[in-house]
Amino acid sequence: MSGTPVLSTLVEGLAGTVPAAARGLLNATVNFILSQMTGGLSYPEALARAQQAGLAERDPAADVQGHDAVAKLMILSGLVFGRQLEREQVSSEGITAITGREIEQARAAGGRLKHVATLGFAGPDGTGNVTASVRPEVVGDDDPSLGVEGAANALVVEARPVGRVAIIGPGAGPRLAGQGVLSDIIAVARRAPRPT
């Protein structure tokens, strides 16, 4: 997720813990669009603004239809939870049909409409049947993602024994994508065997 160091934080920083569930905003472009709609723009206007800002691609389908967030949820499940999901195990719904009325109804109820990715397990400590979804959802003031606006990501992981860990950071645009790639290259170089 570009400028948000999710994998390194979870894989290295939470080494030794037992992750049990995850929930968050995995696509910063979509979060930007929904934030713009909360500010009063229509979906086409918000998408156009995201494209002008270099956040959304000319063909935004991967973002706005949820495919990108689904792929990220599958990666998190495999690398962090040790459960590699098949695509059909993740239900998904995009944001293209969201109306200004739905945005306003969420705000009137004291919440925000967000595109939420959820990963949970029926059994303790990440065991049992998996529930995985990416869909629009109204979040309230008990959710750390409520105040995450603009081109930002948020992820909350439940892990034993530490409890709830929240990671929030920037996540869209060419410069942040470049930083993410550079971070990966440095990580690979550090792990490479040194010549003798």
Any domain includes 196: no
Share of the chain above pLDDT 70, in %: 91
Domain membership of residue 173 as a residue range: 6-191
Residues with catalytic roles = 72
Between residues 82 and 94, which one has the greater pLDDT? 94
CA–CA separation, 3 and 79 (whole Å): 19
Residue 66 lies in a domain: yes
**CATH number of the CATH domain containing 18:** 3.30.360.10
**pLDDT tens for residues 34-54?**
999 999 999 999 999 999 999
Q: How confident is the model at residue 176 (pLDDT cuts 50, 70, 90)?
A: low
The residue among 146, 147, 148, 145 whose CA lies nearest residue 157 is 145
Per-residue pLDDT tens digits for 6-20: 888 888 888 888 888
Which residues contact residue 56 at a Cβ distance below 8 angstroms, ignoring those fewer than 6 apart? Answer: 29, 33, 47, 50, 63, 64
Q: What is the pTM of this model?
A: 0.87
Write out the H or E segment, with its range, that includes residue 164. strand 163-170
CA angle 80, 82, 84 (to 5 degrees): 105
Half-sphere exposure of 21 (CA within 13 A, CB side): 13
- When divided into structural domains, the chain yields a total of 1
Average pLDDT of span 86-110: 94
For residue 171, is it within any domain?
yes
Q: What does the pLDDT look like over 51-61, one tens digit per residue? A: 999 999 999 99
What's the pLDDT at 126? Answer: 64
Q: Count Cβ neighbours within 10 Å for each residue of 17-54 and write b for 16 or more, e otherwise.
A: bebbbbbbbbbbbbbbbbbbbbeebebeebbebbeeee
Per the structure block, which two tokens stand in for 186? 């440095």
Residue 168 lies in a domain: yes
